[in-house]
Amino acid sequence: GAVVSQHPSRVICKSGTSVKIECRSLDFQATTMFWYRQFPKKSLMLMATSNEGSKATYEQGVEKDKFLINHASLTLSTLTVTSAHPEDSSFYICSARDGGGVNEQYFGPGTRLTVT
């Protein structure tokens, strides 16, 4: 099946620093990638949708200047949390949709971000 990787799996950073999370589709081309945030015991919250070569579409309430998304190629999207604060601590999950027209989204393993 389709595989999506995320790096790093866990990261601890200090308040005020920036953190970059990479999401890669390993064996398929992902024309669309999604970034989710999950709070404990809550459903996944869609943060933004990114299409290769164009600007990401952010959901209401998500600060685009704080959560920078770059979908540089058909296999790579990055999420950069800028000037991180403790309230940004969360589980960030990316998913990718196969450009071949299948509706299913394939999820990365997630990144646990802790801001101290």
Partner 1 sequence: GQNIDQPTEMTATEGAIVQINCTYQTSGFNGLFWYQQHAGEAPTFLSYNVLDGLEEKGRFSSFLSRSKGYSYLLLKELQMKDSASYLCAVMDSNYQLIWGAGTKLIIKP
Q: What are phi and psi for residue 87, nearest 5 degrees? A: -70, -10
The residue among 8 and 16 lying less far from partner 1, judged by its C-beta, is: 8
**Contact positions vs partner 1 (CB under 8 A):** 34, 41-46, 49, 91, 93, 103-110, 112
Contact present, 108 and 7 (Cβ < 8 Å): no
- Residue 85 CB, nearest distance to partner 1 (Å)? 22
Report which DSSP code applies to 81.
E
The residue among 62 and 82 lying less far from partner 1, judged by its C-beta, is: 62
Alpha carbons 109 and 115: distance in angstroms, whole number: 20
- Residue 67 CB, nearest distance to partner 1 (Å)? 17
- Residue 1 CB, nearest distance to partner 1 (Å)? 8
